[in-house]
Amino acid sequence: MECLGCKLANHEEFVYQIYENDYVTCFLDHAPFNIGHTLIVPKKHFLELDELDTDTQNAIMDASKLISKAIKLIYKPDGITICQNGGIFNELTHYHMHVVPRFKEQSFAEFYMEQSMDSEDKNYNFEETRKLLKEAIEWQVEKICSVE
């Protein structure tokens, strides 16, 4: 069986990658709720949260922390929502976590609509977003390594 999540996480399909380690690949959502909306996808195939091994679940949480800090630094959202959809709501059929910048005036109900009302009007510069987030994450990682 061909798994799109596995292909995306293992570079068999193009993604705007912002971070990667031995367990996960993190890349921009192809239809973001807001600029900076990122997916964290394990390289090994898992379908549901309760299937994750300890190393992968720790890598997912560590990545979510790095990505959240980078989003806050660059885009200054009012908050960050981190979510995962399981069962019939897992449209990728591969475990993945969303890290979504949020702003006060937005209803998050739009996130769960098939087609966002104004998504066609939004112009996301994926390459610029990828560059900014990747640099912010690399800066954090260097900072952490210099302390250790």
Whole-angstrom distance, CA of residue 50 vs CA of residue 43: 16
Report whether 74 contacts 133 (CB < 8 A): yes
* Number of domains forming the structure of the chain: 1
Neighbours of 74 (CB within 10 A): 16
Average pLDDT, the chain: 88
Percentage of the chain beyond pLDDT 90 is 68
Q: Which of 117, 110, 31, 134 is nearest to 142 (CA)?
A: 134
Report whether 37 contacts 64 (CB < 8 A): no
Q: Which of 27, 44, 11 is nearest to 134 (CA)?
A: 27
**Containing structural domain, residue 10:** 4-147
pLDDT at 110: 66
CATH of the domain at 98: 3.30.428.10
Tokens of 7: 């292909």
Q: Write down the pTM of the prediction.
A: 0.88
Q: Which residues contact 53 (CB under 8 A, 6 or more apart)?
A: 44
- pLDDT tens digits, 67-120: 999 999 999 999 999 999 999 888 889 999 999 999 988 877 766 565 544 445
Tokens of 117: 């009302």
